[in-house]
Homo-oligomer: A and B are copies of this chain.
């Protein structure tokens, strides 16, 4: 019987999580109850939201309990089935977590057709990150042709899709990323009109130059100085879908200073801004549209994507740290089983 390696939340992290918080250890092999299947994890998705699940406070969802396996979306192979609709060898999208094997109810899984698209895309452009971009930009941001859309974390799994969708809508698309090579990819591969490195000393001047008509839609994933710089340049009636605040996820203390909430709310009022926090899972009624549209865009070469695939569950913690620091280049995925098909 193979060993079931698991990454356990051993204690809640303060600041950046590390291998004292997230411990790889041997756990029990799962068994399938009636209606369930046993899954062998091929690919594990690593996503920024996971940092929130490590905290005790209520977020969208209940936190992971201390001592439990870290949660996460997976592409897996069915190795044993007690569910009528799935057979060994089937490839499925599920929520197996940071471990080699998991049991899951068959009806909670979606079978993937490897002939249709690389199966890893179910964790990225055809999965949660792509759907986040689709709902957040199109339904909440409501960009109109000719408007300027600024996308934070533009080279990331969500941002790369947001910008391309905005381009399809006929917008001027300006990305913000944290490295020059990311910016080159954002404009080169993903076709954004401009991309600015927020670590540049001339970040604000470059943002001015890239947005001569101001900013109509800001897709917010990062917070911090990018958010502050964008807020200075928003137009009347700007829309700000708030998808994440990764710059703050590891923050343990708030900076001192003037109370910026008061002038911020004044700006919301005077500029008639719309801010809206969202999570894709509240919008599942749009999934069929998304899968249809995105499938077509991919087939017709309208959307490009990049995945950053790291080998080995034993590297998940350091890869996750890199994700929070912005080291990844595209959608971050752990290849858990070494012989996984694409």
Residues of A participating in the B interface, judged by any CB pair closer than 8 Å: 52, 58-60, 220, 223, 227, 237, 242-245, 248, 251, 254-279, 282
Closest CB-CB distance, A283 to chain B, in whole Å? Answer: 10
Contact A259 B262 (CB under 8 A): no
Contact A265 B60 (CB under 8 A): no
Chain A residues touching B, majority SS: mixed
Contact A273 B262 (CB under 8 A): no
Contact A262 B60 (CB under 8 A): no
Q: A255-B259, A256-B256, A262-B254 are in contact. Are A268 and B272 (CB under 8 A)?
A: no
User: What copy number does this chain have within its complex?
Assistant: 2
Q: Which residue of B lies closest to A273 (CB)?
A: B277
Partner of A275 from B220, B251, B268 at Cβ < 8 Å: B268
Q: List 18 A-B contacts (CB under 8 A).
A: A60-B272, A223-B262, A223-B265, A237-B282, A242-B269, A245-B265, A254-B263, A255-B258, A256-B256, A256-B257, A257-B257, A257-B259, A260-B261, A264-B264, A268-B277, A272-B279, A273-B277, A274-B276
Contact A254 B258 (CB under 8 A): yes
- Of A244, A251, A275, chain B has the most CB atoms within 10 Å of the CB of A275
Report chain B residues within 8 Å CB of A59: 270
Closest CB-CB distance, A267 to chain B, in whole Å? Answer: 8
CA–CA, A279 to B276, complex, Å? 18
Q: A272-B276, A272-B277 are in contact. Are A264 and B266 (CB under 8 A)?
A: no
Given contacts A255-B259, A273-B276, 15 further A-B contacts (CB under 8 A): A220-B265, A223-B262, A227-B265, A242-B268, A245-B269, A254-B260, A254-B263, A256-B258, A256-B259, A257-B257, A260-B260, A268-B275, A268-B276, A268-B277, A274-B275
Closest CB-CB distance, A256 to chain B, in whole Å? Answer: 6
Contact A266 B248 (CB under 8 A): yes
Contact A270 B60 (CB under 8 A): yes
